[in-house]
Amino acid sequence: MRIDILTLFPEMFVSPFNSSIIKRAREKGLADINPVNLRDFAEDRHRQVDDYPYGGGPGMVMKADIIIRAVEALRTDFTRVVYLSPQGRVLTQEKVRELAAWEHLLLICGHYEGIDERSHTVIDEEISIGDFVLSGGEIPAMVLTDALVRLIPGALGAEEAHVEESFSAGLLEYPHYTRPREVSGLEVPAVLLSGDHQAIRRWRKKLSLQRTLLKRPDLLLNRDFDTEERQLLEEILFGRKEYAK
């Protein structure tokens, strides 16, 4: 996968993209990630990328001609152009999977008061990472890139590692435990020490359902529960209380 990121501040991406999973994916040649300086597409000697808004008002607006020129220079027949914007559709794991199917993503990071409206002629969609305001689109671009790289086959240490993560199956992830077996009087649940893989699988699914019910019940509203999930929900709501922690 190739991800180009149009930004006024390419230096912001140096450390995040040279650490951890993203760094390994780049070193393996699985992800080609390129922060691109939008100023490189300015044609005046001052490399100006913004100007005062028509009609007055505070702040500066990023120029449409430069954004369009940059997109046209980088776009291929297999490119999806995404503008990181608070007005966009809120990012979900489902949307990440959808975008991961593209061969090339071109991410545009807004700044100042935003972009000239005419820039949208070359933008395919807008994405937001939440209903709050940031200084620019750089951090949202990092968030989206990290989520995308995790889905690239071979990017994670274990090929199936992302399958059981929160939201991957529409549920929050079950709790995890590691050594030591007892900490401050709190012990690892006995089922995890039993060696019974079927019991462990069922326990984990039950805890995923319970956590989702308690923390994000909205995720369950339109869920098509299978037979086992319905049974587990009945246990959670009406049955044994040892799973309530």
C-alpha to C-alpha distances, 127 to 15, 56, 64, 84, nearest whole angstrom: 23, 27, 19, 5
Residue 244 has pLDDT above 50, yes or no: no
pLDDT in tens, 126-178: 999 999 999 999 999 999 999 999 999 999 976 545 555 666 678 999 999 99
Tokens 């060696």 correspond to what residue? Answer: 195
Does 11 reside within a domain?
A: yes
Q: Are residues 121 and 182 in the same domain?
A: no
In this structure, are 103 and 36 located in the same domain?
yes
Residues 133 and 73 in one domain: yes
Last residue of a domain, one of 120, 149, 178: 149
Q: Are residues 136 and 16 in the same domain?
A: yes
Domain that holds residue 28: 2-149
Q: In whole angstroms, what is the distance from residue 53 CA to residue 139 CA?
A: 25
pLDDT tens by residue, 43-79: 988 999 999 999 998 999 999 999 999 999 999 999 9
- Per residue in 11-33, pLDDT (tens digit) is 999 999 999 999 999 999 999 99
Number of domains the chain is built from: 2
In the chain, which ranges are E strands? 2-7, 32-37, 50-51, 61-62, 79-90, 104-109, 125-128, 182-183, 186-187
37 and 125 in one domain? yes
For residues 36 and 87, membership in a common domain is answered with yes
Average pLDDT of the residues of the chain: 93
| 21, 29 Cβ separation under 8 angstroms | no
Going by pLDDT thresholds of 50, 70 and 90, the confidence category of residue 113 is: confident
Locate 44 and state its tokens: 């005046």
User: Which CATH number goes with the domain that contains 182?
Assistant: 1.10.1270.20
pTM here? Answer: 0.87
